[in-house]
Chains A and B, each alone.
Chain A
């Protein structure tokens, strides 16, 4: 029971993510979470705005069921399979975050300062979540895949386009982490 309640190590988590792709393939389906964003737009009637959203979304209904399942899984894991969950981030990361004003590193699962409703409203959390969300939705559809489609499925299948996409994921992530966040947090929290 103790092992279940502790954070799980990478060598358990990674192979199980790989097996998720395998389990879906054995059911005749392809692992690709960002496709759901398009499907939801289609269901909401976006076909009247762009032909991109036209077509039969019912073939993707299984994927919506999959993401609904993962939401249930997240709820169970966070609320019933963890005592007081917090992320033991590396000391170096914790020290850096603390130096730019994110003091919750090492004591929380997500940064309270920005990803609570208080942080969302007063500490610029809304900038990260709204602009970041927009970029995730736009970028994954432009690249035709996210971490599941490109990094896991595409690299497993030796797809050059996926390697190019993953290089892009890192280019974008490094720009934000090294250039934007230090400036933004210092401005937000040191005043």
Chain B
């Protein structure tokens, strides 16, 4: 049962984000006001650990379980969708204080109003899917 490993990785991830206060709106606002190093330290050290692994995996040609190279996704070239989509997400990130993972984690931690935000996020995704063909990529 491989699903057990995803469940366990998820449990650790949820604990880490909650104990690290990454899911708190206060920490997100503090970050956008540049008044604490906390979130920059979290994101910076996460990227540093990730980049070291990606570098090693590439250098030593480590392979995954299906013999594929161990690399995160390669994104298509372009910039409009990344800048526009990123900015729209950023507006929502500061309003809710949560990116998609923390929306779910907040709701189960006990801040049940976040179930409404999850429903809204699903509606936002639905709207995106419906207007996708009219948007510049």
Contacts and interface: CB of A to CB of B under 8 A. Distances in A.
Nearest to A168: B86
Interface string B84-124: 11111111111111111101111111111110111111111
Interface string B29-43: 111110111111111
A155 B85 contact: no
Given A18-B45, A110-B106, A139-B92, A156 B125 contact: no
A107 to B, nearest CB: 10
A127 to B, nearest CB: 8
B85 A165 contact: yes
B6 A29 contact: yes
Given A70-B13, A93-B35, A135 B41 contact: no
Contact of A156 (B47, B84, B127, B130): B47
Contact of B132 (A50, A63, A145, A171): A50
A188 interface: no
| Size category, B interface | 35 or more
Contact of B79 (A14, A115, A119, A164): A164
A14 B49 contact: yes
A166 B43 CA distance: 11
A165 B86 contact: yes
B54 to A, nearest CB: 5
Given A77-B18, A87-B26, A20 B13 contact: yes
Contacts of B121: 37, 133-134, 136-137
Interface of B: 2-3, 5-33, 35-51, 53-54, 57, 64-66, 68, 70-79, 81-101, 103-114, 116-130, 132, 135
Interface of A: 7-34, 36-38, 40-41, 44, 46, 49-50, 52-53, 61-63, 65-79, 81-82, 87, 89-90, 92-93, 96-97, 105, 109-111, 115-117, 119-120, 125-126, 128-162, 164-178, 181
